[in-house]
Amino acid sequence: MLGADHTWSPERVASLLGDDYGDNPSKHTLGRDHGLAEFFWQRPGPGHPWVGTHFSVQAHRLRYRDPEMINRLVRDRYGPFDGPVPFAEVSALLAARGVRLDEVPYPPDPDEMRTYRQPDAGILVSVVAGSYYGQAGDLYSVSSSSKP
């Protein structure tokens, strides 16, 4: 996400994406919502530094077609986001670049969601399969692994 990854501290992510975010803190975890992008950290307890665990892009939020939901820097870099992203487009672009995605089971709701994993990077791609989470075939989210 604009060069940021899961190894960045909360302060460093905010220095890039700005201070317009929502926090979901606890004693041991911190989730920070920057619109489409969310970053996550953990620590053994208060007084210890945050250690990044992963980040995700919540593509399902594009269905609201609210440009303000997308971080200004992301809009400036990538242009407008007109709505949901069809997984068929994403998978075709990845295939053209030789990037493999393997479908993996999604036990919590197999009729509503499909999940794919990029084996080299460990990235997870979630796709709407039913109608509960949006329109079937739309990209739902992309989540990084804890790999650098």
HEC readout, 8-35: CCHHHHHHHHCCCCEEEECCCEEEEEEC
- The answer to whether position 95 is within a domain reads yes
Q: Which domain holds residue 102?
A: 84-148
State residue 119's pLDDT score. Answer: 95
How far is residue 29's CA from residue 145's CA, in Å, rounded to a whole number? 16
Q: How confident is the model at residue 104 (pLDDT cuts 50, 70, 90)?
A: very high
Asked whether residue 136 carries a pLDDT value surpassing 90, the answer given is yes
Overall domain count for the chain: 1
State residue 147's pLDDT score. Answer: 57
**Helix (H) / strand (E) containing 95:** helix 87-96
Q: Output the average pLDDT for the chain.
A: 93
Place of tokens 């905010």: 14
Asked whether residue 146 carries a pLDDT value surpassing 80, the answer given is no
Asked whether residue 40 carries a pLDDT value surpassing 60, the answer given is yes
Task: Tell me if the pTM is above 0.95.
Answer: no
Distances (CA, A) of 141 to 43, 49, 57, 67, 145: 25, 28, 5, 18, 13
54 phi, psi to nearest 5 deg: -170, 170
State residue 2's pLDDT score. Answer: 86
